[in-house]
Structure 1
Amino acid sequence: MNIRHYWPGTKRELYVLYELCTDAFLMIVGAGAFVAVGRLLANLLQ
């Protein structure tokens, strides 16, 4: 099932942009969580 093939170009581009934004958002959230856990561990180990 390739839904993108049937979509007009603008919608396809918007969908790809949306995918890229969600991926970047998840990466930023993951990095933030990683840093937060690292700081928490550093505080506990002091």
Structure 2
Amino acid sequence: MKAAEEQRKQKARTEAEEARKKEQKRLESDMGYLLENSKLDWRKYK
């Protein structure tokens, strides 16, 4: 019984991690998101 519950929790954990990765990948391709969240300190890139 406990093994099945642990397996279910692990599956839910991996599904949540995959969803997070997909969302991050989608946001990385969204130019508006990148512009809003980029650091505007250009002096360190000189």
> Does the pair score TM above 0.5?
yes
Question: How many residues in Structure 1 have an aligned counterpart in Structure 2?
Answer: 34
**Aligned residue number for residue 8 of structure 2:** 19
**Aligned residue number for residue 7 of structure 1:** none
TM-score normalised to the size of structure 2?
0.64
Identity %: 3
Specify every segment of 5 or more residues in structure 1 that has no aligned partner in the other structure, as ranges. Answer: 1-11
Q: Choose between structure 1 and 2 for higher RCO, CA contacts under 8 A separated by at least 6 residues.
A: 1
Give the superposed CA RMSD: 2.1
Specify every segment of 5 or more residues in structure 2 that has no aligned partner in the other structure, as ranges. Answer: 36-46
Deviation at 1:42, TM superposition (A): 2.7
